[in-house]
Structure 1
Amino acid sequence: MPYVVTQSCCSDASCVVACPVNCIHPAPGEPGFATAEMLYVDADSCVDCGACATACPVDAIKPHTRLSEAELPFLDINAAYFDVFPHADRTPLAVVGAQRRMKRPRPVHVAVVGAGPAGLYVADELLRHPETRVDVLDRLPTPYGLVRAGVAPDHPHTKRATTLFAAIEAEPGFRYLLGVGVGEGPGAAVTHAELVAHYDAVVYAVGAASDKALGVPGEDLPGSLSATDLVGWYNGHPDKQDLAVDLGHERAVVVGNGNVALDVARVLTADPDELAGTDLARVPWAVLAGSGVREVVVLGRRGPDQAAFTLPELVGLATLRGVNVVVDTQGAALSEGEAPGVEGDLRRQVLAELASRTPDPALRTIVLRFLTSPTRLLAGPDGRVGGIELVRNELVADAAGVPRARPTGETEVLPAGLVLRSVGYHGEPVDGLPHDAATGTVPHTAGRVVPGVYVAGWVKRGPSGFIGTNKADAQETVSTLLDDLDAGLVAGPEASVGGPRSHRGDLARVLRERGVAVVDLAGWRAIDAEERRRGAAAGRPRTKVVDVAEMHRIAAQTADARPRRRTLLGVRTAGRA
């Protein structure tokens, strides 16, 4: 096989467009695109040109001769997909549609709230139109959202999406207003109403702000934490550096078995020497290096076929060295079930291979335990979590035929000093926007809240998908925004609700007049360069700055040192704010 996809797809579709023989599937427009766990290269059709590898923003496509030992299973995974879905009716070339243009061209200035993948994809789609300028706001002085603070440090390939984001930042008409909170509460520098008054349109691309609770007694005990908070802690998120993480015990339990749960289990059992070469934050690394944890139990309330983790993440777990991976199905046969498609079959095969291994008692262990739910957390003698009561489940089909977990009444207590909940996210209300409490999203129509106000990303669709899922999501929202501009539903630069727009398009100046320390693109690049410099000195890709005040100092030093350029009328500061 000439080329192979080796990880969960970013759903960017760049590789599909680049391929001259249309051998990468599922492609846009085909069933499964944007929901499939990954894309697949057809070995029989691939002409070994390498165009897909060049186009991939996260370096996930490799020639078969460059696969590492851990990546070799993806040979069979790619081949198996086409045994089930041959795509014999495909066209010989990928079809690229014509670039849309506005019917009534005029300067358009848009604010995007949120500098994570969703927000940056929105900016990218908007800046395809030469009439458009985009200001991207974020409450932190650093961009990239979960790519920076949510991707496991031992998954540097996933973080290569930042290369794509850097290209978006360099587009004409792009501007950062970082370190700027939006809303009504403490820390907010600008309100929703002010954004509406300053811009032609506002797009909110904020993520889910909180994780879901377990809803069991004892959940508030010390030692019961959110897996999301733990991920933010070891990834250097400024809000999570004070998290009290006690690893002075032998067992940790992760409730939930999605990709985040596997990430956490992997980091907690990793060799500290291997983590030392990653961008894991310094203080968390020291805590992990002194960890007493020997076993991490990952709980799934349903069976292996219903597990939330993706096949690439499971393969990555199965190829770990120096760690036992044990499969505990609570007596259920791995051959049972009806997981759909080739991914379901391959998941069973990987789990069966793991189940056949003999654990090495000298190694740390990750246990994938299924058909188990927590019923309460128990306090130890020190008042912290000392154990977790579990109930065994059985699967019962509901009226629609969907397998549901039903408690059998059979319980046990598992000693543990740390319990991490990883059962999903839930969006919090956004000031100035409607809120659906059941879904944690903003009600919308194809991204439109009202003409002039839009949503994208998790605040729009809920916490689902991969990094690149935000691209198709952004395309829909931007298309709706352009429809509204073409229909005249979005006010022009001469009017707004409540009268003329003061300081229109110059929010940066207004913020600075208020004393808000705004970090622009040059400031972010200075922070990035300083992190890389510190990392290089320590033999790491970067050492993250975790203190917000220090980030602002680094950015401010760059602004003070920025060269000035002469104009015919005098001297002015070079570059945009």
Structure 2
Amino acid sequence: MRQIAIIGSGPAGYYTAEAALKQWGEDVHVDIFDCLPVPYGLIRTGVAPDHQSIKNVSRRYEATALSDNVRFLGNVLVGEHVSVAELTGLYDAVVLATGAPHDRKLGLEGEDLANVYGSAAFVGWYNGHPNFATLDPDLSHDTAVIVGNGNVALDVARILAKTREEFAGSDIVTHALEVLDTSKLERIVILGRRGPHQIAMTPKELGELGKLDRATPVVEAADLPPEAEDDALDPGQRKSVNHLRTYAGLPDDERAGKPLRIEFDFFASPRAIEGDDRISGVVVERTRLENGRAVGTGETYTIPAGLLVACIGYQTSPIEGVPYDEAGGRFANEEGRIGGGLYCVGWARRGPSGTIGTNRPDGFSVIEMIAGDIGEGGGKRGADGFDALASERDLSVVEFHDWKRIEEAETGRAREDSPREKFVHVDHMIAAAKKG
């Protein structure tokens, strides 16, 4: 019996567990650890709450979780409750699938001012992540700035722009809805260092901005390259740029009656954040493209703003004793192999890139590598060894049947127009898990 430990219960973790079952069938046991008492990682706390169809992939992970050969072990913090060295001593292979939960820093003066957030924190706040439930952003200013030209920037802009009625069917947490209800925003500015042809926004997400009840997207026609140059783009990029061209051509009467503008400010790079205790403005430098790179022109201007959300990427949390690639913001590895029975998958392996589905082939390739490395397995104690350690340390481990109690309780306390109301405090999750 091979004994495999996977650290992280998001998409990369569950696809890796699925691959292990396909590789060895009944001859493997997989323990999936998570620091939270609830599974699914970014499916729960990263995917936008109004994108419920994307969250349905968790049903596939549940099928894996319910296998007799797979256990979910939540509320176990690797590096604190148990070390990586202890796990590699217990299991034939340990796979780090911890994702990239920390924001990349802008590296700007004023970044530590109040009401300046990274997207991991801000998205975690409206998605009910326990680490960010008390964020309490102030939306009393008329202007917010979002830095970044990817889908996360679009998610943040859309959430800030929607009315309460537009959240029907979503699982946005109530504390976020109540703050959004107080919003005085009239302008959301999305800063991009480069131009429309360099965006990382997909057509579906970009198209949603044109269907909001109280907000209208604004694109300056002068920022768009000649239409003939769109032919060099791939089909998805072309569709996205077509959305931008449509927004640039919106007549004034279509904008009338919508009090909130979502402005795309291309060729614009933030240089400093102004303010005393809290943000009051963002200093921006105009850029131009040179060989595809954004180069500053020296021309600067200031956007008065009361909120900034930086959506510029993420990095993996270092773990003591695990080699780390500081430049890449991920674990140092060769195609997923770290060494000494230790491996990594997903964003922890390659950095924050790709879609949810990208993690599936990643998991399968790492399991194939592990199969070659461990052969018939090393006869390690695996699950029994961890259970003995958990009992010795009096760990409050949450298993999958406990999670199902949490899920049932969240469904039962949901608003009338929501599929669930998430618990945002770990102790509340554990209380629901152990109830009965």
- Interval containing the TM-score (normalised by the shorter chain): over 0.9
1:317 deviation in Å?
2.4
Partners of 1:167 and 1:389 lie apart in 2 by 50
Match of 1:82 in 2: none
1:321 deviation in Å?
3.9
1:334 deviation in Å?
5.1
1:505 deviation in Å?
3.1
Structure ID, larger Rg: 1
2:328 to 422, 439, 462: 439
1:556 deviation in Å?
1.5
Match of 1:542 in 2: 420
Normalised TM-score (structure 2): 0.94
* Mapping 1:38-117, distance limit 5 Å: 107-117=1-11
1:230 deviation in Å?
0.7
8 Å Cα contact 2:215/2:258 also seen in 1: no
1:169 deviation in Å?
1.1
Partners of 1:506 and 1:521 lie apart in 2 by 19
Match of 2:349 in 1: 460
8 Å Cα contact 2:4/2:30 also seen in 1: yes
8 Å Cα contact 2:125/2:135 also seen in 1: yes
Match of 1:130 in 2: 26
Instruction: Identify which of structures 1 and 2 has the higher relative contact order when contacts are C-alpha pairs closer than 8 Å and 6+ apart.
Output: 2
2:271 to 340, 352, 375: 375
Distance 1:459 1:348, change over 3 A: same
RMSD: 1.8
- AA paired with 1:452? G
1:412 deviation in Å?
1.1
Is residue 239 of structure 1 aligned with residue 131 of structure 2? Answer: yes
* Mapping 1:13-24, distance limit 5 Å: none
1:343 deviation in Å?
2.2
8 Å Cα contact 2:127/2:172 also seen in 1: yes
Task: Figure out how many residues of one structure are paired with residues of the other and give that number.
Answer: 430
Structure 1 residues 269-278 or 504-513, which shifts more? Answer: 504-513
8 Å Cα contact 2:109/2:273 also seen in 1: yes
1:352 to 227, 242, 245: 245
8 Å Cα contact 1:199/1:505 also seen in 2: no
Is residue 205 of structure 1 aligned with residue 97 of structure 2? Answer: yes
> SS of 1:257's equivalent?
coil
Unaligned 5+ runs, structure 1: 1-106, 398-402, 495-500, 562-577
Match of 2:178 in 1: 286
Match of 1:320 in 2: 212
Unaligned 5+ runs, structure 2: none
Partners of 1:195 and 1:508 lie apart in 2 by 12
1:428 deviation in Å?
3.1
8 Å Cα contact 1:247/1:288 also seen in 2: yes
Partners of 2:185 and 2:347 lie apart in 1 by 33
2:71 to 164, 167, 175: 175
Distance 1:173 1:426, change over 3 A: same
- AA paired with 2:420? R
Partners of 1:523 and 1:386 lie apart in 2 by 46
- AA paired with 1:135? D
8 Å Cα contact 2:221/2:248 also seen in 1: no
Structure 1 residues 423-432 or 543-552, which shifts more? Answer: 423-432
1:430 deviation in Å?
2.0
**Post-superposition CA distance 1:67-90 (Å, at most 9, x none):** xxxxxxxxxxxxxxxxxxxxxxxx
Normalised TM-score (structure 1): 0.72
Is residue 524 of structure 1 aligned with residue 403 of structure 2? Answer: yes
Distance 1:530 1:334, change over 3 A: farther
Match of 1:396 in 2: 290
Partners of 1:132 and 1:355 lie apart in 2 by 56
8 Å Cα contact 2:336/2:349 also seen in 1: yes
Is residue 119 of structure 1 aligned with residue 8 of structure 2? Answer: no
Distance 1:237 1:161, change over 3 A: same
8 Å Cα contact 1:305/1:337 also seen in 2: no
1:510 to 386, 389, 393: 389
> SS of 1:523's equivalent?
helix
> SS of 2:330's equivalent?
coil
**Post-superposition CA distance 1:312-371 (Å, at most 9, x none):** 221222343432011136544352746532223222222111111132253322112211
- AA paired with 1:384? R
Match of 2:379 in 1: 493
8 Å Cα contact 2:145/2:308 also seen in 1: yes
